[in-house]
Chains A and B, each alone.
Chain A
Amino acid sequence: MNSQLSNTNFTKESLKKQFRLSEFLAEKIISSVAFLSIAIIFLIFVFVFKESLPIFSKGKEAPKTEVQATDSASKPESYGTTSTEELKPESYGAEPTEELKPETYGSETVSQADLQPESYGDVKAEPLTADSGEMTDKVTENTDGAGNTWNTFFTTEWVPVSDNPRFGLLGLLIGTLKVTVIAMLIAGPLAVLAALFTSCFASKKTKEIIKPIIEMLAAFPSVVIGFFALMVLASFFQNVFGYDSRLNAFIGGVAMALAAIPIIYTISEDALSSIPKTYTEASLALGASKWQTAFFVVLPAATPGIFAALLLGVGRVFGETMIALMATGNAALVSANPFESVRTFAATIGAEMAETVFGETHYSVLFFIGSLLFIFSFALNALAEFYVKGKLIKKFQGK
């Protein structure tokens, strides 16, 4: 009896051993593939940040403060000069457009470039066959002047391509914030109210129709929304309000609201629907009407989820590239007027990366902006996740 038992034990173990190798391998492969997603996040940060490192090291090596960026006349130099013309400010991104190329190398043309407006017209259209030689010159040039890079970060001038390039991030930051605020003011209330209707007032049938339709908006590629804003919305709103620059923060904000609505709607609808039924039933049983229950019971209970939805909406708008490129006018103007052109962080990367040279200061600064965007969206997501989880767990634990 005893020996038999040990015998079965033995066969069991030998069976396990037989399968062990393939299973062990499969399991290891599966979990290592799963870890790759952690690795990707890590790699994204490392590689985006790595490319921006030169601005830190160069900044320390050559602390040359020659430029007083703040007091020189900022308006004529910035790209804003062309903002009144319809499409010109946007023409940056294209590598192949001939007329724009000279700007990159326009630096050698005038010695006191900072006194003259750097608009498109005055740059000589030179044949650019000797590209590579000039580029290397430029890189070394920039190494000398790179001490300025840091100092210009906290100004409002964004003049990346000139004799003494200035990378004022403040102007871009203000532009990005302006668009974000406008977009969220439109998208937030609309999406949350729509979610409230869907989860609290709509009948089951209506809900089944409404939800997929609104979520269909998420399937609109951002380039399509940007195109629509550029071609249709811009002209429409200009006729209505009669402002000067056709593409501006307001148009960009409206278009981005369209991109943010499905995100905010879906997540807040989920949050509203996941409120335990006992809450609503208790409220209704106490004599509250449907809308009272919706506004004073369901909505407060779902606040963490809605907050998370709004945060993710902000993240979407903040990093949106194509709509910003196409609809905001892309001129880094600093003003409180929502009908002025703005330039956002993401649009700056999208528009200028193609014309920079590997290793240049401009290139590094764009990557630096990228890492800022990444850190920001990472933090937003972490905040949304942990705040909401903590709150929700506390709230429903007693359930």
Chain B
Amino acid sequence: MNTKTNTTENHFFSSEGKKMDIKGKLIVGTTQLAVALIIAILFIILGIIVYEGRDKFSWEFISSFPTDGMTKGGIFPALIGTFILVIVMSIAAVPFGTITAIYLTEYAKENSVIAAAVRFSIRTLAVVPSIIFGLFGLGFFIQFVGAGADTVLNGGQLRWGQPNILWASLTMSLLTLPVIIVSVEEALKTIPRELREASLALGATKWQTIRKVVFPGSISGIMTGTILAVSRGAGEVAPILFTGAAYYLATLPGSLSDQFMNLGYHIYIMSTQSSDVEKTMPIQFATTLVLLLLTLSLNLVAVLIRSRIRRKAK
């Protein structure tokens, strides 16, 4: 009797399941197809860029200056310019981002309007088009701060009131700020509340707790955030289009008031404004390959650190 009902039940379910199966498989298949398509496109892009760029890609290419009107030679100044850009950017953005994240997790109250406003502005900062940062850099840093500094410090002589690496880096730091804040905040949230409470119970003040307990726990988050920000900053071009990137420079930037070359900008001008686009194609692909390797490997490192944080939190 028992077995009988069981079989009928089984029968009922299996036939029901089969009826649905065709339609269901079709639907599940469609979603699978979408995933497959996206991943395929990703690897096609990667594959083509690696394939086309592999011939030119060498140590010599990375470590030499462009020659012959940028139709030959390497990308050394662009690479160095990108490095300086992300370093200055990190120096500006990391402390700022970390402190904001500490405020949001440690000081802000759950329902406070101010904290909500801060969060909202950070999210807005994350979705503002990057070209707007470029405009802001031009309008604020160059025309307002830079020109103001010139009239005060240099007696009207033009030094800071023009595009340079400092203004480009600061512009970029605004763009990457949300990335850092989000990462640090995430790391801070993984620190157990008991740890803070234990510290407070032992008589430490809130500030001591933050300095000795919370901050050390956020180091990995700061690292992830910085790496992700560097990856982002190295690849963005729109914010530096008119805040400091230069078409071609024979020398490396010597001070913060110099212009600089940049990998992404180099790709852009080489592929759209070069005198002979066809001829420099291998150089363009190799430059793209360098930039892509840079951003992807940085991202990979960040993802690995982040997954370790998450595992630890569990």
Contacts and interface: CB of A to CB of B under 8 A. Distances in A.
A38 B104 CA distance: 13
Interface string A25-56: 01101110111111011011001101100000
Given A23-B205, A87-B272, A90-B272, A222 B139 contact: no
Contacts of B39: 210, 213-214
Given A197-B34, A220-B295, A223-B264, A27 B24 contact: no
B303 interface: yes
B234 A228 contact: no
Interface residues of B, number: 89
Contact of A38 (B41, B118, B291): B118
A350 to B, nearest CB: 5
Interface string B100-124: 1011100110000010011011111
A95 to B, nearest CB: 7
B128 A319 contact: yes
Do most interface residues of chain B lie in helix, strand or loop, or is the interface mixed? helix
A37 B93 CA distance: 11
Contact of A232 (B23, B48, B102, B272): B48
B205 A19 contact: yes
B219 interface: no
Contacts of A44: 128, 132-133, 136, 140
A378 B103 contact: no
A295 interface: yes
Given A37-B100, A47-B140, A201 B45 contact: no
Contact of B28 (A219, A227, A291): A291
B210 to A, nearest CB: 8
Given A34-B104, A94-B247, A312 B127 contact: yes
Contact of B32 (A95, A197, A232): A197
A314 to B, nearest CB: 10
A354 interface: yes
Interface stretch (B56-64, B189-197, B237-245): B237-245
A190 interface: yes
Contact of A220 (B16, B45, B140): B45
Given A346-B129, A354-B241, A373-B131, A219 B296 contact: yes
B217 interface: no
A338 interface: no
Contacts of B124: 41, 377-378, 381-382
B268 to A, nearest CB: 6
Contacts of A94: 247, 269, 272-273
Contacts, number: 273
Interface in A131-185: none
Interface stretch (A61-69, A70-78, A115-123, A320-328): A320-328
Contacts of A239: none
B299 interface: yes
Contacts of B138: 51, 353
A216 B133 CA distance: 24
A224 B132 contact: no
B65 interface: no
Given A312-B127, A319-B129, A381-B124, A213 B42 contact: yes
A164 B125 CA distance: 37
Interface string A283-307: 0000101111001000000000000
Nearest to A202: B35
Contact of B30 (A29, A193, A220, A366): A193
Given A47-B144, A210-B35, 11 more contacts: A37-B125, A44-B133, A193-B33, A194-B31, A220-B296, A227-B271, A228-B45, A228-B288, A258-B41, A291-B23, A353-B134
Interface of B: 16-17, 20, 23-24, 27-28, 30-35, 37-39, 41-42, 45, 48-49, 96, 99-100, 102-104, 107-108, 114, 117-118, 120-125, 127-136, 138-140, 143-144, 174, 177, 181, 205-207, 231, 234-238, 241-242, 247-248, 264-265, 267-269, 271-273, 277, 281, 284-285, 288, 291-292, 295-296, 298-299, 303
4 smallest A-B Cβ distances: which pairs?
A: A319-B129, A221-B235, A197-B31, A193-B34
